[in-house]
Structure 1
Amino acid sequence: MTDTTTQRTPRIPPLEAPYPEPIGELLTRMTPPQAPEILALFRVLAVNPALAERTMELGRYLLGRKAAISLREREIVILRVCARCGAEYEWGVHWSGFADAAGFNDTDRSVMASPDGDLSLLAPRDRLLVSMVDQLHHTSDVDDALWEALRAHWSHAQLIELMMLAGWYHSVSYVCNAARVPLENWAARW
């Protein structure tokens, strides 16, 4: 994991209010109603408003009510991808925003936040998702044995969604890390 004991200087500073009208409206649409403020990540993405606009649709699908996977499954994948990529910003936002609703406990937190956490402490289905993320992270593939285990629990449509979700949050992690998005004051830390 990336050392984040001290805040690093942003390479792409988040936009600050007052925002020009099209940017303000875009940021309002990007921000979930339950968010305590406009996230620094969104304010960084809005530096390229055309791209930010285009990415909203996929993000909303993967995080929305039309998703083919449960909230818990989604958050396991997101949290593990962020942990594997060392993206404390996004990990902390998701832990703070969704851990309670997903039913995570302290053991889940310690295992999912650590690349070398003891996977045997997780529930079997959770362990399969973490293993999928780990294999994708290391090899950009899933071996046959794990694929068959995954297939016993998730449909092809769900597996595509799980893999797309992992890839999406790998991209988000890249932006968080390389742009040095400043940590949210209210978000969890490793």
Structure 2
Amino acid sequence: MSRLAPLEPPYAPDIQEQFDRIMRGAPPLILFRVMAGHARAWEKLRGGSLLDPGPLSLREREIVIDRTCALNGCEYEWGVHVAFFAAAAQLTDEQVRATVVGPADAPCWSSAEQALIAAVDALHRRATLSDGEFAALSAHYDDDQILEVIMLCGVYRTVSYLANGLRLPLEEKAARFPT
């Protein structure tokens, strides 16, 4: 049970419109229903541009998000992203598993993806990148993409704090961490 109660339908028309836009017809996630009950927090969450495509490919974006959520022990958000985006991002079962239990240099990743995961790991552990880590990332990604990686890590760390801190129950159709 969530520590804060999620909104229950019927939703206010403006909230329903926001849910429809974000969820594209699917029922709103518990996270969204909790946050939408608190106007300031909901606006800040939506203002974080969580759902826009940005300069990374869907695959790159999902690798960053999945790894960030896994490092934060956030099965809720990791599971939502794996369930909704892993197939479209062409992540194999081995790669999905590796976002949770694999090293950055796991052989299932390309060299660009290894640099991406190493950057996520470094940002999680130290909140910075070494010169070598930045150079490895720069060998594959431009400045806008690097900024996006750093920002995604920060945003999804915050989302992880929200989901974990509020003890959101796992979504029914979401994936579960590998054992």
TM-score (norm 2): 0.90
Indicate yes or no: 2:6 matched with 1:20: no
1:46 corresponds to? 36
2:106 corresponds to? 120
Indicate yes or no: 2:135 matched with 1:148: yes
Counterpart-to-counterpart distance in 2, 1:45 and 1:59: 15
Q: Number of paired residues?
A: 175
> Which segments of 5 or more consecutive residues in structure 2 lack a partner in the other structure?
none
> Which segments of 5 or more consecutive residues in structure 1 lack a partner in the other structure?
1-8
Counterpart-to-counterpart distance in 1, 2:88 and 2:44: 28
Identity among equivalent pairs (%): 40
TM-score (norm 1): 0.85
Deviation for aligned residue 1:157: 1.6
CA RMSD of aligned residues (A): 1.6
Deviation for aligned residue 1:13: 2.1
Measured against aligned partners, the alpha-carbon deviations of 1:113-137 in whole angstroms (never above 9, x if no partner) come to 22xx243222211111111111101
Do 2:120 and 2:153's aligned partners in 1 also have CA atoms closer than 8 Å?
A: yes
Counterpart-to-counterpart distance in 1, 2:132 and 2:168: 37
Deviation for aligned residue 1:166: 0.7
Query: What are the residue-to-residue correspondences of 1:39-188 with 2, within 5 Å?
Result: 39-60=29-50, 63-65=51-53, 67-114=54-101, 117-118=102-103, 119-121=105-107, 122-188=109-175
Do 1:14 and 1:40's aligned partners in 2 also have CA atoms closer than 8 Å?
A: yes
Counterpart-to-counterpart distance in 2, 1:162 and 1:150: 10
Do 2:4 and 2:34's aligned partners in 1 also have CA atoms closer than 8 Å?
A: yes
Do 1:44 and 1:181's aligned partners in 2 also have CA atoms closer than 8 Å?
A: no
Counterpart-to-counterpart distance in 2, 1:187 and 1:50: 27
Do 2:71 and 2:124's aligned partners in 1 also have CA atoms closer than 8 Å?
A: yes
The list of structure 1 runs, each at least 4 consecutive aligned residues, that deviate by more than 4 angstroms after superposition, is none
Counterpart-to-counterpart distance in 1, 2:75 and 2:10: 27
